[in-house]
Amino acid sequence: MSKKKRSSEYRVPFDGAFRIRKARTSPGKAGGSKSEEKAALAELVDEFDELQRVLYADDRHSVLLIFQAMDAAGKDGTIRAVTSGVNPASFQVTSFKQPSRNELDHDFLWRTTLALPDRGRIGIFNRSYYEEVLVVRVHPEILDFQALPDEVRGEDLWEHRFDSIREHERHLSRNGCLVLKFFLHVSREEQKRRFLSRIDEPEKQWKFSTSDVRERGHWEAYMDAYEAALNATSRPWAPWFAVPADDKDTMRRIVAEIIVGALRSLDLSYPVVTKEKKRELEEMRVRLLEEDGAAGGG
């Protein structure tokens, strides 16, 4: 199967047909052995590194990678694995936690807009403005802290936010930003296993929070919220990918494969050097070679 087909297999359709309860959490036949997946990931990271260098030199595009998932799906580890071996100076990684008072005094896209990547760089959002149509939808009491006008807090609130997100991402795309969004789809059973591992293994206990289990109690509501959000905002200019997350090695390889394939499609290139620049380079070459001659003559 070609890499293009393998990537599109996980892309959320643009017609609202995505059904989260039918989406796979396990890679099935698409997965390889642990060693095979690690080797494939290493090759992809090498290519990612080269493409990032050209992206930076080309300086016409930026890239925004958005990661959303239920707790313990592996967002942090995936971001780490996919970007390992790539120049860290090329990344702007931002994790969005509970908004501050100042952030709540602005529209819900404000704080993430401030963190958008420069041209030539790659921005990674570990959670994002999608929290406003996920966790806030599951817990609408959070809206009480957002000081919204009464007329805004109607039954159309979520559709209006979807409109804002679509328009925002279309604007980014029109201005040279490649937007790729990843929903790391972990099963409820695998999440439970990982939570127990965090409780039982001392080196993982720091990761565990009692709120994780409380949120687990809202699993079905979260699935409904994710399905609605992905269907409303997966578009050609900002596609969602629902990546099976029960097998971390396969998940990381799939994410890297999608990113590398998308970067290839940008048709990036190193800038063409002008005749004037070439003359300048030749002058510098002569000067440097003359230094060698002068040192030898001394």
Residue 149, Cβ neighbours under 10 Å: how many?
A: 6
Give 286's pLDDT tier (boundaries 50, 70, 90). very high
| Beta partners for residue 65, in sequence order | 124, 180
Give the strand pairing for 177-185 and 122-126: unpaired
Give 294's pLDDT tier (boundaries 50, 70, 90). low
Query: What is the residue type of 76?
Result: D
pLDDT digits (tens, 9 = 90+) for 114-163: 999 999 999 999 999 999 999 999 999 999 999 899 888 888 999 999 99
Residue 3 has pLDDT above 60, yes or no: no
In 3-state terms the chain splits into helix, strand, coil percentages (rounded to 5) of 55, 10, 30
Phi/psi of residue 185, nearest 5 degrees:
-95, 95
Name the DSSP class of 108.
T
pTM of model > 0.75? yes
Contacts with 78 (C-beta within 8 Å, 6 or more apart), sequence order: 67, 182, 184, 248, 251, 252, 255
Residue 8, Cβ neighbours under 10 Å: how many?
A: 14
Residue 1 has pLDDT above 50, yes or no: no
CA distance 268 to 37: 27
Question: Which structural domains are found in the chain, ordered by start?
Answer: 3-273 (3.40.50.300)
DSSP E strands: which ranges in 98-160?
122-126
pLDDT over 90 for what percent of the chain?
A: 77
